[in-house]
A and B are shown apart, each in its own frame.
Chain A
Amino acid sequence: MTMQRRDFLRAAAAVAGAGVLPGCATTGGGTGGKVVVVGGGYGGATVSKYLRMWGGGKVEVTMIEPRENFVSCPISNLVLGGSRTIADVTVSYEALGKRWGVNVVRDTVTGVDADKRVVTTAGGKTFAYDRLVLSPGIDLQFSAIPSYRADPARAIEIAPHAWQAGPQTVLLRRQLEAMPDGGVCAISIPLAPYRCPPGPYERACQIAFYFKRHKPRSKVLIVDANPDVTSKAGLFKRAWAEEYRGIVEYRPNHTLADVDLATRTLKFEVGDDLRANVINVIPPQNAGAIARTAGVITANNRWCEVDFLSYESIRGKGIHVLGDSTLSAPGMPKSGHMANNHAKVAASAILNLLAGAPVNPAPMLMNACFSYITDEQAIHVVSVHHYDVAKKTMVAVPGSGGVPPAMSPFIGRAANAWAKNIWADSLG
């Protein structure tokens, strides 16, 4: 690999900017190029901040996100358990603007012109870019459920998914609070891959935590399209057999066919119908809609394949995709932690690409997924991934990663520290 001397010097300058810290937060101003970031979740917020920080403020970054604040999916199951409020998992975008000089725009991107390198928004604005980052998260496939097709907005009022944290989380909590003791809450899980593999099982624990204390005759019934628990299976099953004995029941191989919304009855491809008082239907998922608009959904009509050295779409065109929207590499979960790590690899690569320099040929990723069993005790699964040159993908480093022997309050405290730090790292 060779490059022109001036490119080498520009690359060296870009790397020298790495040490630049807060205080340089003037919006735009730079001559290092323009990046537009679509989405302000773990991926979008982190890439925006790191482009400004590592770029020494020279790259102009505009982040376009329709929501007023960031609401974290991780930890949001504790809102259902009652030990946290939605305010506890809500973080302002203010620091991205004030501290880092990111131009945060509250709007929805509706169009991408990859040839002209311009995006357009629902609010009628246009933004030009040199590099575009799409970090839209997931869209829920309401069309997969026949009774949802006519009016999905009404369907999710009756059967909240709560799989994008916010009002849906609060709605599900209210339904649980209104449910009489002796009632049943059913959780329907789609076939993997879906956002946050352990999330539905943690949710079952948190709802059971609430029932055990306030509605002890009530039940949580997990109806899972997968043949087994998809993450930390031994640890979750132990929690259901011990901590939540008689409260949680797990049924694998239950693929949802339809929902009778009038009677809150779940119907399956195989198996008896299930009528419940509260139905939490987590639909199948695909990459966020803007990825389809931009033409970067390339796998199974659902996910975006990327070059794991830069997170640029395999279609190229200067469009990078991060987080849950990507076709995950083997062993790489769709998680907020992963999206944050994708964002850093992408930020490093984008700065070098803008400077005409080669990207890091050996990126690494870490992942930590914590799951709270009670309000204080938690479990985890962690992994370390490196780039495999021959396979051109990320692979888990042999011998690394794993799960703990049992739930513990130490892991609970680590989970809390994880949340505080990743929110600050992504948004602060």
Chain B
Amino acid sequence: MRTISAIGIFAIAVAPAFAQAPTTAQARDMAATCANCHGTNGVSSGGTDSLAGVPKAETARKMREYKAGNRPSTVMQQLAKGFTDEQIDAMAAWFAAQPAK
């Protein structure tokens, strides 16, 4: 029986990783690395910005400003430099789709 390619889930198992835009599942996994400080699914417990329900353009713009060193921060300038623009867009889109509490 013919098999089909695993498109749409984790379909980019070829080097280099993220040669193309991350999938939704990858965006979820990547956004989860933000949850330590910004709360599970982007709903903050306080002291940091909630990201859930924030428009994609706003989060992506802030991340690009951190990355460029144009936005004051404690840790975010150093962390934002670890992500490509495609990854930032994917995470921003994922958070925008989460219900704000």
- A-to-B contact residues, CB < 8 Å: 1-5, 8, 11-12, 15, 18-19, 21, 49-50, 53-54, 337, 340-341, 344-345, 348, 352, 357-366, 368, 380, 382-387, 389-390, 397, 399-402, 404, 408, 410-411, 413-414, 416-418, 420-425, 428
| Residue with the highest number of chain A CB atoms closer than 10 Å, among B26, B32, B78 | B32
Name 15 interchain pairs, CB-CB below 8 A, sorted by A: A1-B5, A15-B24, A15-B28, A361-B17, A362-B22, A363-B29, A364-B87, A368-B36, A380-B74, A382-B78, A389-B17, A397-B82, A417-B46, A420-B45, A425-B40
| CB atoms of A382 and B79 under 8 A apart | yes
Of the four ranges (under 10, 10 to 19, 20 to 34, 35 or more), the interface on chain B belongs to 35 or more
- B61 interfacial contact with A, CB 8 Å: no
A368 CA to B75 CA, complexed, in Å: 8
Q: Which of B12, B33, B48 contacts A417, CB < 8 Å?
A: B48
Q: Please classify the interface of chain B as helix (H, G, I), strand (E, B), loop, or mixed, using the class held by over half of its residues.
A: loop
- Measured CB to CB, the closest approach of chain A to B61, in angstroms, equals 19
Chain B residues in 8 Å Cβ range of A11? 6, 9
| A1-B13, A3-B3 known; A421+B45 contact, CB < 8 A | yes
Q: Which residues of A contact B29 (CB under 8 A)?
A: 344-345, 348, 360, 363-364
CB-based contact A421/B8 at 8 Å: no
Tell me the nearest residue of chain A to B98, going by C-beta.
Answer: A19
In contact, B36 and A358 (Cβ under 8 angstroms): no
| A399/B48 contact (C-beta < 8 A), A8-B6, A15-B25 known | no
Across the interface, B9 reaches (CB within 8 A) one of A50, A357, A384, namely A357
A53 in contact with B40 given A366-B82, A397-B81 (CB within 8 Å): yes
Contact across chains for A418 and B36 when beta carbons are under 8 A apart: yes
Q: How far is the CA of A383 from the CA of B78 in the complex (A)?
A: 8
Interchain CB contact under 8 A, A384 and B79: yes
What string of 1s and 0s marks CB contacts (under 8 Å) between B2-18 and chain A? 01111011111111111
Taking each of A4, A53, A382, A385, which has the highest tally of chain B beta carbons within 10 Å of its own beta carbon? Answer: A382
Chain B residues within 8 Å of A414, by CB = 37, 47-48, 74-75
Known contacts A21-B99, A362-B18, A341 near B13 by CB under 8 Å = no
A414 to B75, CA, bound (A): 9
CB of B25, distance to nearest CB on chain A (Å): 5
Q: Is the CB of A366 within 8 A of B36?
A: yes
B38 in contact (CB, < 8 A): yes
**Contact A425 B39, beta carbon cutoff 8 Å:** yes
Q: What is the minimal beta-carbon distance from B68 to any residue of chain A, in angstroms?
A: 12
Going nearest first, the 8 A-B pairs with the smallest beta carbon separation are A384-B82, A417-B47, A400-B82, A362-B17, A389-B15, A361-B13, A397-B82, A2-B3
Q: B46 — which chain A residues lie within 8 A by C-beta?
A: 417, 420-421
- What's the minimum C-beta distance from A171 to chain B, rounded to whole angstroms? 30
A166 to chain B, nearest CB (A): 22
Which of B15, B38, B79, B81 has the most CB atoms of chain A within a 10 A radius of its CB? B79
A382: chain B residues at CB < 8 Å are: 75, 78-79
Q: Identify which of B4, B30, B74 contacts A8 (C-beta below 8 A).
A: B4
Question: Are A421 and B81 closer than 8 Å at their CB atoms?
Answer: no
B57 CB → nearest A CB, Å: 21
Chain B residues contacting A421 (CB-CB under 8 Å) are: 35-39, 44-48
- Of the candidates A357, A364, A401, A418, the one whose C-beta lies within 8 Å of that of B33 is A364
Cβ–Cβ < 8 Å partners of A361 in chain B? 10, 12-13, 17
Q: Do B44 and A390 touch (CB < 8 A)?
A: no
Q: For B38, give the chain A residue with the smallest CB separation.
A: A421
